[in-house]
Chain A
Amino acid sequence: MKVFFAILLTAILTNNYILSKFLGICPFLGVSKKLNTAVGMSAAVIFVMLLASAATYPLNTFLENHGLGYLQTIVFILVIAALVQLVEIVLRKYIPSLYNSLGIYLPLITTNCAVLGVTILNIDNGYTFAQAMTNSFGAGLGFMVAMVMFAGVRSKLESCDIPKFLEGLPITLVAASLTSLSFLGFAGMVENMFGV
């Protein structure tokens, strides 16, 4: 049990996928302008990360058993892309209410590096299936925490008097740097709490 909490907290706080691993920067900078889109996008990311890990983990075992480990990258990206789209179609047909809140974000995340990243890292870290799912859930939650925090920062930023040369993308990146700095405060926390 201790291990699962350690993995979860590591993925959310100390090794946040956006702020310390730099995975998923595109949506982080692109979709964080409004709070509600940030939440919707993150919810979809959590869902897709869980789904993608659940699908790719057994597939990887299958590939390795047959000596096809080198096909990992190709298989993972195609499986993730196809899977997400099938889910989108199913949702649209059978659960329209869920589709309206999550579905519109689904196509955006098929080629998101955070999703492919989490599936590959699950394998690289040698997690068991349950650990891999915990890690994916934590990564998704961490994505949400970072997105929501940053959406707040950006809404404050809009009313600020920014030096002209920093307007636009540069000041957004500097703000991201400060948000990321606040997460450095968690460094070492998980190790001390769980002694892992």
Chain B
Amino acid sequence: MAEKKTLRQEFTKGIIKENPVLRLVLGTCPTLATTTSMESAIGMGISAAIVLICSNIVISALRKVIPQKVRIPCYIVVIAAFVTIVQMLVKAFVPTLDEQLGVYLPLIVVNCIILGRAEAFAGKNSIIASAVDGVGMGIGFTVALIVMSAIREFFGAGSLLGHSLLPESIPPMTIFILAPGGFFVFGLVMACANKLAEMGGGKKAKLGGCEACPMADSCTRLQNGEACETPAVEETATDVVNEVKEAAE
């Protein structure tokens, strides 16, 4: 029974309390780029969620096999493999989505959410817990994308999911589906999420809040003027090099 409850917590935390986009501020690039229409946002959300769930399961299954020192390059290879699979599936079965997402589909590889969850969760927990965590985080990511895209598509194109909602007499504000509108809507959604979190007794979302992401970790260090000390990434870096050397030998 206790086990069940924790699993439920793992599931719900990704959707609200630790929403990857709005609370942990991870994966901002796809959030801004693919939310011009609800259709592409849902496509992006589901693709990233599939990669996240599969890579979480595989990384968790391999967590005792992967040596601690070369774990990040291993994670990257696993993630890149699943991204390639998803890319091929999307190209074969949903070619229109492939056109809409374009370069952002292969860029799921460098999405901080996936590497972050591998590092912070899947590398340390059981397969079932990691799968549940992946499903929760994936849904959280998709929900955040859908909220953003619903606002942008409604104001920017006067439609939702391609169905026109506004009468012809009201011209849509195209700026919302252009780049500035993306930043603007993300800012406002973030402000609302902060307000809700504060009412619930939580903290404001901060870029530095994403300890899980090696990249963002170094970003905050840079801000504090401790640029030379980037252990997390440094380690990753040397790991990659070591692995290449070993492979060469």
Distance, CA A73 to CA B207, complexed state (A): 27
List of A residues within 8 angstroms of B241 by Cβ? 82, 85-86, 89
- Shortest C-beta distance, A119 to chain B (Å), equals 10
Residue of A nearest to B239 (CB): A85
Which residues of A are found within 8 Å of B223, using beta-carbon distances?
30-31, 33-34, 37
Are B215 and A111 in touch, CB under 8 angstroms?
yes
The answer to whether A173 touches B81 (Cβ under 8 A) is: no
Q: State whether B83 touches A30 (Cβ < 8 A).
A: no
A72 to B241, CA, bound (A): 20
Interface residues of A (CB under 8 A from B): 19-27, 29-31, 33-34, 37, 41, 70-74, 77-78, 81-82, 84-86, 88-89, 104-105, 107-108, 110-113, 116-117, 120-121, 124, 165-174, 176-178, 180-181, 183-184
10 A-B pairs with the lowest CB-CB distances in the bound complex, closest first: A30-B219, A173-B187, A177-B183, A170-B191, A177-B184, A107-B233, A22-B33, A74-B80, A181-B180, A174-B187
Q: A85–B240 contact, CB under 8 A?
A: yes
Q: Is the CB of B222 within 8 A of A31?
A: yes
Q: Are A117 and B103 in contact (CB under 8 A)?
A: yes
List 22 A-B residue pairs with CB atoms under 8 Å apart, sorted by A's residue number: A20-B179, A22-B28, A26-B213, A26-B219, A29-B207, A30-B220, A30-B222, A73-B87, A74-B81, A85-B237, A105-B227, A107-B218, A108-B215, A108-B233, A110-B240, A113-B107, A120-B103, A168-B205, A169-B194, A170-B191, A177-B184, A180-B183
Residues of A within 8 A of B227 (CB): 37, 104-105
Considering residues A37, A82, A116, A177, which has the most beta carbons from chain B within 10 angstroms of its beta carbon?
A177
Q: Is the CB of B77 within 8 A of A108?
A: no
Interface majority SS (helix, strand, loop, mixed), chain B? helix
Report the separation of the CA atoms of residues A183 and B179 in the bound assembly, to the nearest whole angstrom: 10
Identify B206's interface contact among A73, A88, A169, CB under 8 A: A169
Contact B112 A26 (CB under 8 A): yes
Contact residues, B228-244 vs A (CB, 8 A): 228, 230, 233-234, 236-238, 240-241, 243-244
Chain B residues engaging chain A, CB cutoff 8 angstroms: 25, 28-29, 32-33, 73, 76-77, 80-81, 83-84, 87-88, 102-103, 106-107, 109-112, 115, 175, 178-184, 186-188, 190-191, 194-195, 204-207, 213-216, 218-220, 222-223, 227-228, 230, 233-234, 236-238, 240-241, 243-244
